[in-house]
Chains A and B, each alone.
Chain A
Amino acid sequence: EAGVAQSPRYKIIEKRQSVAFWCNPISGHATLYWYQQILGQGPKLLIQFQNNGVVDDSQLPKDRFSAERLKGVDSTLKIQPAKLEDSAVYLCASSSRLDGEQYFGPGTRLTVT
C-alpha cells in the first residue's frame, strides 16, 4: 500500500512570496490533516478535512494560509504572502475510521529567506 505522498520535498522562497504544497493521502482515507512543525518543536495541527469538508481550522492563520481538498482526495496548502516565521516542515497525514491511525507523509521543508 502506497503511503502519504507530498511534494515538493524542499522549497526555498523569499518573504512575501507565495508557495503551495501538495498532498496525496492513502487511497480510501477520508480524513486528511496538515501539520506545521517548526524546528525544535512538535507538529501543530493547522487544518483537518473530512472528505472535502473542513472539520477544524482553528489554528490556521487564515490571513495568509489557505487549504483545500476539492474532490475529497488530494489537498493543497498555500501560504500567501510568506513570512520568515513560516519556515518549517509541513506534514500531511491521513487516516481512516477503520484503524484510526494517522499516517504521516515525509513532509515539505520550507525555508523563507
Chain B
Amino acid sequence: NAGVTQTPKFQVLKTGQSMTLQCAQDMNHEYMSWYRQDPGMGLRLIHYSVGAGITDQGEVPNGYNVSRSTTEDFPLRLLSAAPSQTSVYFCASSRLGGQGDIQYFGAGTRLSVL
C-alpha cells in the first residue's frame, strides 16, 4: 500500500545549489503532478504529466524542470535553488479516466533554501 512516495522528507539547500525531488507511485496512474504549498496560498501547480514522455507547465513553472521517462516516476529538479523556492512540495497522481478523478498525494518534501 505504498501509494505516492516522496523523498527526501526534509532538505536544506544553499542558494545556487541544485537538487532533485523524487516522486514514485505504484498505482499505474497516467496523471502525475507537482505542487508547492506556501502559507495563505494553498497549493499551486508547478508541472504536470498525462503520461510517460509528456509534460506540461502549471501556474508556477519557473525555476523547475521535470521529466517523465516511466509511468511510475516523476522527478522535480531545481537547477539553481533560490530562497523564494523555500516551500513544501507535494507530488500527486491520479487516473485519467475522467473529470474528478481522485488525486493521491504524497507526504510532502519540506525544502529550505538559505
A and B assemble together = no
